[in-house]
Amino acid sequence: MENHILFDQNGQPLFTSAQACALTGINRQYLQTILSRHPHLRPARKIGQDFFWVEGEIAALAAKKSSTKMGRPAKG
């Protein structure tokens, strides 16, 4: 994958929101839409205006993306 210089307290690599978008195939605007509709998907780490994601949080985001239909809010 990539060389990381940021890690959480457990040693897991941290990804920026831009990296999370690239890994899940979405753009920043769609990321904001998903997070506004599903606030439980927001990562625990935020510095300034950006979130920092661990791999499990990105996997949850990707799973939600694959289960939603474009143009319609997801139920649940």
Domain boundaries defined on the chain: 15-67
Sheet holding 45-47, edge to edge: 15-16, 50-53, 45-47
> Does the pLDDT value for residue 2 go beyond 90?
no
Place of tokens 């300034």: 48
User: In a 3-state reduction of DSSP, which class is residue 63?
Assistant: helix
**pLDDT for 13:** 92
- 38 and 74 in contact (C-beta within 8 Å)? yes
Strand 45-47, strand 15-16: pairing: unpaired
**pLDDT for 58:** 97
**pLDDT for 17:** 96
Average pLDDT score over the chain: 87
**pLDDT for 70:** 60
Greater model confidence, 25 or 73 = 25
When pLDDT is cut at 50, 70 and 90, the band that residue 4 belongs to is low
